[in-house]
Chain A
């Protein structure tokens, strides 16, 4: 429960986002993906003209990192692909490139749709300063950004489409094309259950065409059960293996850099536990919400995921029983621990439902127990440093 669980959202790669937008009539230059220089060469041969080779990674700033390069012909394309595939961009190794026709750009725009929590509405965000991150524009020249709230029940209206077009200064002869882009982006947003759908940049080419050159769609995880086709677009190469394993076990997990593994029920309490580890002078190794009603199997999976991180020197288990029963977690801890290949000191604090029944189980297993959360955090930090609190 809580906000943290929904923040691990599914971001789609550029080529996937473009596939979706193309289905909704957004004009763009498709191209093909390649995982080897030879495939890139073949893709360029099909295009028969200058191409751009683009690393398919989810981190920003791939252009500056050398992940986007122009090529005049198939041979050059293979060379550029060879340089980009395998490149490390902010910790992600490039596995796939998109080979797309190159465009001569006359003007760039930003066009996005987001779900705005504050107004509880989908909001159009538009700027005539495309090609840069919208957050950057928001900082440097907020007046250059139009925010337009869509009606939550009737959605995007034609007068709104016109207004955005006029704001951006779309040339008169391209206004119909622009309407198709915005309507298509909106339809894609609604049908995919997106949190964010953006085209950046949307360009007018030297030849006077309006095209989506880059696209990004971020999905609402809660809606994924009704979109198996979109779930299949998840790029596992971009995710921590431990985070993939956690998702499969029904656990919310985010890997961090510290030494104290945390296992907690509830997102807010999990964040609080991390905060108190820090307050006690330690660093949390992860965020982990084991979810409501956790039993032995999920506790065991959580242990494996936490201990898979070699930095972990101690584990802090904090369970406030409500739906979750303390004695079931305690038994799960003891059972799972017996099957572990690596052992580290464990500090366990169980309160709430069936906490009294949990006590003897934990005492017998020789686990370090704690009465309060502050006490548990202090003991975990001490244990990670090889001393007793």
Chain B
């Protein structure tokens, strides 16, 4: 098993004919992802990516014609909130938004509407996810993975690749790697993904990659102490980041001092999770907790 996406995932790509959308859709097809449709308003009826993918004007039409089950969004930031709502209205249960720079107040509305509809949103401003050897949705390079038993969840993009590569180089494979995104409001949190990994039979250990700011890592640590019985390792980026620049006024009030790398590390260690000093130490920490 894996989480969120697998061989049965039928993907529609919103913004498939754009520069980023076309480039990454090609990489997804090469990885073996089943892209059943693309959506670009005004280009319905055409086909794209060397005739491999039919294009529709609307998500609803794409779903009706192809039985798509999930969407990956590459449209520009100004149109991304509408694209997420369209995916939800089109009946998709899983929406992955790669787009960076979505205004926060737009996300506030989109988040709550999708939540009410029971739609699982990943991102925005995320690299997507890969269920190794099954499906890759988003922009994570496919070739850094090797199939194995470790689930990985991260708020970062390239830092995720760094850790996955370090694991692969050490011969430690992954089930699914998920980038949840670094924006103030994202659809899926660490806790959501940890819960999924915890219930996934094939995932035997979990790696969590956090960053300073907010308090999602602290919440995740609490959840792990309470619920997760699988071995874990973690890394937190930003020990040297200047506090004044990172912690906004708002965060400081609400969290009462949480949000620094130290507070996150302390919370994780209190939950029995070892925190690596460098991404390259993650494989050793995994070995130490019994990962082969």
**A contact residues vs B (CB 8 Å cutoff):** 1-9, 114-118, 120-123, 125, 134-135, 138-139, 142, 147, 152-153, 190, 193, 195-196, 198, 218, 220, 222-223, 225-226, 254, 256, 264-269, 271-272, 274-279, 284, 287, 292, 320-323, 351-353, 372-374
Contacts and interface: CB of A to CB of B under 8 A. Distances in A.
Contact of B238 (A264, A275, A321, A374): A275
A198 B248 CA distance: 13
A223 B105 contact: yes
Contact of A274 (B240, B251, B254): B240
Nearest to A3: B182
Nearest to B159: A268
B248 A269 contact: no
B278 A1 contact: no
User: Which of A8, A153, A218, A266 has its CB near the most chain B CB atoms (within 10 A)?
Assistant: A266
Contacts of B185: 115, 117, 120
Contacts of A277: 240
Given A117-B185, A222-B103, A322-B141, A135 B159 contact: no
B213 A190 contact: no
Contacts of A284: 240
B289 interface: no
Contact of B237 (A8, A256, A275): A275
The 7 nearest A-B residue pairs measured at CB:
A268-B156, A266-B158, A268-B159, A223-B103, A2-B182, A114-B250, A3-B182
Contacts of A256: 240, 242
28 contacts: A1-B156, A2-B182, A2-B211, A3-B183, A3-B213, A4-B211, A7-B248, A117-B251, A120-B185, A139-B256, A153-B109, A153-B113, A196-B248, A196-B250, A198-B249, A220-B105, A223-B105, A254-B242, A264-B158, A266-B156, A271-B212, A272-B237, A287-B241, A320-B162, A322-B141, A322-B158, A323-B23, A373-B279
Given A7-B213, A115-B108, A2 B162 contact: no
Where chain A touches its partner, the secondary structure class is: mixed
A226 B78 contact: yes
A190 B103 CA distance: 12
Interface string B167-189: 00000000000000111110000
A186 B216 CA distance: 26
A220 B249 contact: no
A71 B156 CA distance: 52
B209 interface: yes
B239 A193 contact: no
Nearest to B169: A372
A152 B159 CA distance: 32
A242 to B, nearest CB: 14
